[in-house]
Structure 1
Amino acid sequence: MTVAYSLDVATSGLFTQIKVLLRWKGSVWKSIWSELLIWLLLYSVLSVIYRVLLNKAQREVFEQLCTFFDTFSVFIPVTFMLGFYVSIVYNRWTKVFDNVGWIDTSALTIAQYIRGTSERARLIRRNCVRYMIVAQAMVFRDVSPAIRRRFPTMRHLISAGLLTEDEMAEFDAIVSPQSKYWQPIQWLFSLVTVAKDEGLIADYYLYVDLMDKMRDFRTKILNLVIFDMVPIPLVYTQVVNLAVRTYFLLALFGRQFLENSNNIPGAKWKIDIYFPIMTSLQIVFIIGWLKVSEVMLNPLGEDDEDFETNWIIERNLQVGYAVVDQAYGRFPIIKRDPFWEEETPQTMDTPTSTRKPHTHMQGSCINMNEADLDNGLISYVRRRSRSFGDDDSSSVVTETTRANSNASMLPKHMWAQPRSKISNAIAKLYKSEPEPRRASVCVAALDLNHRRPSVDFREIENPEKADDVILDVPALVQERIRIAKQQAVKIEMPEDTNSQPTSPEEDKSAISPSANNVKWFVEEMPVIEEEDEKAHRKTPRNLSASSFGNKNQSGGGGDFT
């Protein structure tokens, strides 16, 4: 199993990493000590031969050779090749771990979907779990040396209690040259189908979901076989290992101390410290990096950092049986919890836990300095603001509507009323009119919503006197009518408020645009106007002249935009 050291690094401190570095099992020291020792011995032998046994001419040749190796060893891209290789191996390692196969989800689903307290129901649930463990053990036998030693043959699964004699006979009855990982899964699926036919599974949806959970488990453990059968290309592994070991083989000569290095072109002057400190550190880092890839290349092996496959099988068997049998149908008595009467429940703290203050989850800007905040007023954004000509379903007018409808705007005298009264009147009119004639109310609503003057209070020197801006409302209405006529919308302006209903033929020919959108818009108009009036009273500096009405023409009533 992987070496656990999470508790040692739970809290960072001065000696946290020192405790981790002093570990031996699974450490870099245990991985590279043999390579480092062999390299230092060879280095010492060459150094003694150069200093003691060689004559002057031989020393010159040796010095030239060492200079050559030291100069051109940089052509080997060790760090690039090794870094890319380790990243590939690490990604493969994580995928293998994700596909080891944990039985918890499948066992919980079996316990909840296959219901019944009879011996038959209990037998089906237990056998479902056991068949899943058998399939996992068969896969692990072929990919993990530890499991292969535990179960050398399929007969050992019988002695381990995972298979019976009858099941082994049924297993051997199917002759296939390929590995039969699928056979226990087929038994599992057949058993679930039997449970469905016997009424132990209440609904077909539960049956399908249970089959999906078991299929996912089967897919994961089968991926382990694929990872084992198709490893990282051998040539890549060979190239990386050859590059690293060749680099340090050349370093045996290139890192030697040379007495006449000053007279050799290209040679570097060195201090004779007898022990190659920097090269030893380089071996620890680079060879240790290579050992990381070797350990993660097959995590189902028997290294210190490999997965404990024997424990995984035992754990899945125990958890699976506990979920579907021992814990089936059992749960605590439902009672009032200890916080039943408390509006803000809070758990008790031990004296040790209260020593460190608790921090609450909150936004990072909660405690922002008020001096950095803009305390200016906020301008409100109108909802659903579109012009009559925009691409909106509430403003679409068909050819039939243009040719046959007798759509009419609101009476003239209503446009002199306060804006809030006009909004309420349009909303009531929309509700009271038949469906074909609601197109005219839509036109009136859009007309009220989108008439805006071109004056902006930001261009006025004294925004406090914004109420003195005079708006020619009748001129705006006529301009809107002119634009609507240019768009081929037939608009009539009756003098009285009681408009005559159209004939049934005309009602059939008139088409109201987008009933849902128009209905929402018209019914929301009074609410929108109320919000705008509040915004005008609160934030006159941030709103344009289009947000204010003409008090002179509305009789001092509400706003008119």
Structure 2
Amino acid sequence: MTVAYSLDVATSGLFTQIKVLLRWKGSVWKSIWSELLIWLLLYSVLSVIYRVLLNKAQREVFEQLCTFFDTFSVFIPVTFMLGFYVSIVYNRWTKVFDNVGWIDTSALTIAQYIRGTSERSRLIRRNCIRYMIVAQAMVFRDVSPAIRRRFPTMRHLITAGLLTEDELVEFDAIVSPQSKYWQPIQWLFSLVTIAKDEGLIADYYLYVDLMDKLRDFRTKILNLVIFDMVPIPLVYTQVVNLAVRTYFLLALFGRQFLENSANIPGAKWKIDIYFPIMTSLQIVFIIGWLKVSEVMLNPLGEDDEDFETNWIIERNLQVGYAVVDQAYGRFPIIKRDPFWEDETPQTLDTPTSTRKPHTHMQGSCINMNEADLDNGLMSFVRRRSRSIGDDDTSSIYTENSDKRASTVSMLPRHMWAQPRSKISNAIAKFYKSDPEPRRASVCVAALDLNHRRPSTDLREIEKPENVDDVIIDVPALVQERIRIAKQQAAAVKIEIPEASVSPAAGTPEATSPSGNVKWFVEEMPVIEEEDEKTHRKTPRNLSASEYGEKYGKFWNF
């Protein structure tokens, strides 16, 4: 089983990793100590021969050989090849673990879908679990040495209690040159179908869902056979192992201390410290890296880090029977939970518990500095540019607009394709239902609607000298539009009440419910209806560019 050290690294500290490094089982020290010892012994033998046994001429040849190996050993791309190899092996290792096959989901589905308290229903549920374990044991026999030693033949499955004599006879009755991993699964599917025919499965959809869960289990354990049958290409494994071991074989010569290194072209000055410290560290890192790939290459073996296949079979058998038999139909009495009366429930702590302050799930802008926020009213209302002509969907293009961003109407685009009376009714209804702070925006929408068919009266409005100094006064604009609307509806006798006066400020209270603003918005449907009756048309003697140049800046709020 893989070495568990999660508790040792649960809390990061000064000595956390030191405790991990000092462990032996599954460690790098256990993996590389033999290679490191052999390399150091060979290095020591060559060093003694060079220092003691060789004469001067032989030393020169040895020094030239060591210089050559040290110079050209960098041509072997050890880290590049090993990095890719370990990455491929690790991905394969994770996929093998994902396809080991855990019975929990299938067992829970069997217990909930195959209902009944009779002995017949209980036998079906238990046999479903047993057939799944039989299929898994058959697969593990062929891919795991540990399981093969435990069950050398199919008859050992009878001794272990996973198969019966009759089932083995039925198993052997099917003659096939291929491995029959599928046969226990076929028995499993047949049992589920029998349960459906006998009414133990209430609905057809439950039957289909249960078959999908069992099929998923079968697919996963079959993938183990595929992984075992098609390993990583042998040539890749050979090239990586050959490159790493050749590199350190050359290092036996290239890392030797040379007495006359100063006279050898290309040689480097070295300190005679007798023990190759840096090369030993390279062996620990690179050989340790290679050992990682060797351990993960087949995780169903018997290394310290390999999966415990025997335990997996025992665990699946125990959990499966417990779910479909012992725990079937059992659940605690439904009572009120301890937090029934608490609006904000909170669990208690023990004296030794350490609950740290935690951050609630909230957006990162919740604690934004209040000084960076503008809590005032909106000072800019986006609206569509005014249009001319009979087509309400056309808009004015203002050429001399100081390259300002064009504004759009606060009403959606599709609204302006509707009849004007329908739009005015919607604005009036919106004004009545909207709260007081937003009614100014509704008034601006009413102005925008009224400008959809501008009359010749708008030409009399003088263009302001400095557009930047113009203060947008919504009530004043509404009063101006009331005057224009009154001229347009001159043929109809409409009584326009005067604006009430605020005693405090002495100014017309245009936004009060009894003021002209409210009257104008509410009477817009009547004005539009009368305007349609008189069939007023927008004069066409003023082009869009001239109209925008003359009035665009003033009305582009």
Tell me if both proteins adopt one fold, taking TM over 0.5 as the criterion.
yes
Query: What is the alpha-carbon distance in structure 2 between the residues aligned to residue 247 and residue 214 of structure 1?
Result: 50
Query: What is the alpha-carbon distance in structure 2 between the residues aligned to residue 262 and residue 100 of structure 1?
Result: 60
Conserved? CA contact 2:111–2:323, under 8 Å: yes
Conserved? CA contact 1:467–1:548, under 8 Å: no
Deviation at 1:369, TM superposition (A): 3.6
Deviation at 1:351, TM superposition (A): 1.9
Conserved? CA contact 2:456–2:539, under 8 Å: no
Query: What is the alpha-carbon distance in structure 2 between the residues aligned to residue 338 and residue 113 of structure 1?
Result: 32
Query: What is the alpha-carbon distance in structure 2 between the residues aligned to residue 190 and residue 513 of structure 1?
Result: 78
Conserved? CA contact 1:103–1:316, under 8 Å: yes
Query: What is the alpha-carbon distance in structure 1 between the residues aligned to residue 518 and residue 170 of structure 2?
Result: 70
- Deviation string 1:249-272 (CA, Å, 9 cap, x unpaired) is 000000000000000000001000
Conserved? CA contact 1:69–1:251, under 8 Å: yes
Query: What is the alpha-carbon distance in structure 2 between the residues aligned to residue 5 and residue 542 of structure 1?
Result: 88
Conserved? CA contact 2:134–2:184, under 8 Å: yes
Runs of 4+ in 1 over 4 A off after TM superposition: 371-422, 425-447, 449-495, 509-514, 516-551, 555-560
| Secondary structure, aligned partner of 1:305 | coil
Query: What is the alpha-carbon distance in structure 2 between the residues aligned to residue 543 and residue 22 of structure 1?
Result: 91
Deviation at 1:224, TM superposition (A): 0.2
Query: What is the alpha-carbon distance in structure 1 between the residues aligned to residue 178 and residue 355 of structure 2?
Result: 63
Query: What is the alpha-carbon distance in structure 2 between the residues aligned to residue 450 and residue 95 of structure 1?
Result: 68
Query: What is the alpha-carbon distance in structure 2 between the residues aligned to residue 450 and residue 144 of structure 1?
Result: 84
> Structure 2 regions of 5+ residues with no counterpart?
504-508
Q: Alpha carbons of 1:125 and 1:434: their partners in 2 closer, same or farther (altered >3 Å)? A: same
Tell me whether 528-537 or 16-25 shows the greater mean CA deviation: 528-537
Deviation at 1:158, TM superposition (A): 0.4
Q: Alpha carbons of 1:433 and 1:329: their partners in 2 closer, same or farther (altered >3 Å)? A: closer
Deviation at 1:370, TM superposition (A): 3.7
Q: Alpha carbons of 1:335 and 1:220: their partners in 2 closer, same or farther (altered >3 Å)? A: same
Tell me whether 380-389 or 104-113 shows the greater mean CA deviation: 380-389
- Deviation string 1:39-67 (CA, Å, 9 cap, x unpaired) is 00000000000000000000000000000
Q: Alpha carbons of 1:353 and 1:416: their partners in 2 closer, same or farther (altered >3 Å)? A: closer
Q: Alpha carbons of 1:456 and 1:532: their partners in 2 closer, same or farther (altered >3 Å)? A: same
Deviation at 1:359, TM superposition (A): 3.9
Deviation at 1:357, TM superposition (A): 3.4
Q: Alpha carbons of 1:105 and 1:47: their partners in 2 closer, same or farther (altered >3 Å)? A: same
Deviation at 1:349, TM superposition (A): 1.1
Conserved? CA contact 1:455–1:545, under 8 Å: no
Tell me whether 483-492 or 328-337 shows the greater mean CA deviation: 483-492
Query: What is the alpha-carbon distance in structure 1 between the residues aligned to residue 378 and residue 22 of structure 2?
Result: 61
Q: Alpha carbons of 1:473 and 1:209: their partners in 2 closer, same or farther (altered >3 Å)? A: same
Q: Alpha carbons of 1:196 and 1:397: their partners in 2 closer, same or farther (altered >3 Å)? A: farther
Deviation at 1:226, TM superposition (A): 0.2
Tell me whether 364-373 or 134-143 shows the greater mean CA deviation: 364-373
Are 2:554 and 1:557 equivalent residues in the alignment?
Answer: yes
Q: Alpha carbons of 1:533 and 1:376: their partners in 2 closer, same or farther (altered >3 Å)? A: farther
Paired residues, what number?
A: 546
Tell me whether 371-380 or 417-426 shows the greater mean CA deviation: 417-426
- Deviation string 1:300-355 (CA, Å, 9 cap, x unpaired) is 00000000000000000000000001001111101111111111111111122256
Deviation at 1:8, TM superposition (A): 0.3
Query: What is the alpha-carbon distance in structure 2 between the residues aligned to residue 540 and residue 430 of structure 1?
Result: 31
Conserved? CA contact 1:102–1:316, under 8 Å: yes
Q: Alpha carbons of 1:293 and 1:480: their partners in 2 closer, same or farther (altered >3 Å)? A: farther
Q: Alpha carbons of 1:369 and 1:163: their partners in 2 closer, same or farther (altered >3 Å)? A: same
Conserved? CA contact 1:550–1:559, under 8 Å: no
Query: What is the alpha-carbon distance in structure 2 between the residues aligned to residue 356 and residue 206 of structure 1?
Result: 45
Query: What is the alpha-carbon distance in structure 2 between the residues aligned to residue 459 and residue 46 of structure 1?
Result: 109
| Secondary structure, aligned partner of 2:495 | coil
Query: What is the alpha-carbon distance in structure 2 between the residues aligned to residue 342 and residue 196 of structure 1?
Result: 45
> Structure 1 regions of 5+ residues with no counterpart?
496-501
Conserved? CA contact 2:115–2:201, under 8 Å: yes
Q: Alpha carbons of 1:477 and 1:297: their partners in 2 closer, same or farther (altered >3 Å)? A: same
Conserved? CA contact 2:492–2:530, under 8 Å: no
| Secondary structure, aligned partner of 2:387 | coil
Conserved? CA contact 1:426–1:444, under 8 Å: yes
Query: What is the alpha-carbon distance in structure 1 between the residues aligned to residue 56 and residue 155 of structure 2?
Result: 72
Conserved? CA contact 2:144–2:301, under 8 Å: yes
- Deviation string 1:425-459 (CA, Å, 9 cap, x unpaired) is 67889999999999999999998399499999999
Q: Alpha carbons of 1:518 and 1:156: their partners in 2 closer, same or farther (altered >3 Å)? A: farther
Conserved? CA contact 2:146–2:302, under 8 Å: yes
Tell me whether 139-148 or 380-389 shows the greater mean CA deviation: 380-389
| Secondary structure, aligned partner of 1:353 | coil
| Secondary structure, aligned partner of 1:447 | helix
- Deviation string 1:143-173 (CA, Å, 9 cap, x unpaired) is 0000000000000000000000110000000
TM-score by length of 2: 0.73
Deviation at 1:489, TM superposition (A): 26
- Deviation string 1:411-433 (CA, Å, 9 cap, x unpaired) is 99999999999743678899999
Query: What is the alpha-carbon distance in structure 1 between the residues aligned to residue 434 and residue 371 of structure 2?
Result: 55
Q: Alpha carbons of 1:529 and 1:145: their partners in 2 closer, same or farther (altered >3 Å)? A: farther
Q: Alpha carbons of 1:481 and 1:294: their partners in 2 closer, same or farther (altered >3 Å)? A: farther
Q: Alpha carbons of 1:56 and 1:224: their partners in 2 closer, same or farther (altered >3 Å)? A: same
Deviation at 1:356, TM superposition (A): 3.6
| Secondary structure, aligned partner of 2:322 | helix
Query: What is the alpha-carbon distance in structure 1 between the residues aligned to residue 400 and residue 103 of structure 2?
Result: 66
Conserved? CA contact 1:411–1:493, under 8 Å: no
Q: Alpha carbons of 1:436 and 1:178: their partners in 2 closer, same or farther (altered >3 Å)? A: farther
Conserved? CA contact 1:457–1:466, under 8 Å: no
Deviation at 1:363, TM superposition (A): 3.1
Query: What is the alpha-carbon distance in structure 2 between the residues aligned to residue 343 and residue 312 of structure 1?
Result: 44
Query: What is the alpha-carbon distance in structure 2 between the residues aligned to residue 217 and residue 36 of structure 1?
Result: 44
Query: What is the alpha-carbon distance in structure 2 between the residues aligned to residue 44 and residue 233 of structure 1?
Result: 37
Deviation at 1:2, TM superposition (A): 0.3
Q: Alpha carbons of 1:110 and 1:419: their partners in 2 closer, same or farther (altered >3 Å)? A: same
Q: Alpha carbons of 1:556 and 1:393: their partners in 2 closer, same or farther (altered >3 Å)? A: closer
Tell me whether 30-39 or 478-487 shows the greater mean CA deviation: 478-487
Query: What is the alpha-carbon distance in structure 2 between the residues aligned to residue 27 and residue 542 of structure 1?
Result: 92
Query: What is the alpha-carbon distance in structure 2 between the residues aligned to residue 365 and residue 332 of structure 1?
Result: 44
Query: What is the alpha-carbon distance in structure 2 between the residues aligned to residue 433 and residue 378 of structure 1?
Result: 16
Q: Alpha carbons of 1:483 and 1:411: their partners in 2 closer, same or farther (altered >3 Å)? A: farther
Q: Alpha carbons of 1:249 and 1:371: their partners in 2 closer, same or farther (altered >3 Å)? A: farther
Tell me whether 175-184 or 368-377 shows the greater mean CA deviation: 368-377
Conserved? CA contact 2:108–2:323, under 8 Å: yes
Conserved? CA contact 1:295–1:305, under 8 Å: yes
Conserved? CA contact 2:510–2:517, under 8 Å: no
Deviation at 1:368, TM superposition (A): 3.6
Conserved? CA contact 1:406–1:490, under 8 Å: no
Q: Alpha carbons of 1:258 and 1:339: their partners in 2 closer, same or farther (altered >3 Å)? A: same
| Secondary structure, aligned partner of 1:393 | coil
Conserved? CA contact 2:31–2:291, under 8 Å: yes
Q: Alpha carbons of 1:221 and 1:464: their partners in 2 closer, same or farther (altered >3 Å)? A: farther
Q: What residue in structure 2 maps to residue 65 of structure 1?
A: 65
Q: What residue in structure 2 maps to residue 289 of structure 1?
A: 289
Query: What is the alpha-carbon distance in structure 1 between the residues aligned to residue 166 and residue 444 of structure 2?
Result: 82
Deviation at 1:191, TM superposition (A): 0.5
Q: Alpha carbons of 1:17 and 1:483: their partners in 2 closer, same or farther (altered >3 Å)? A: farther
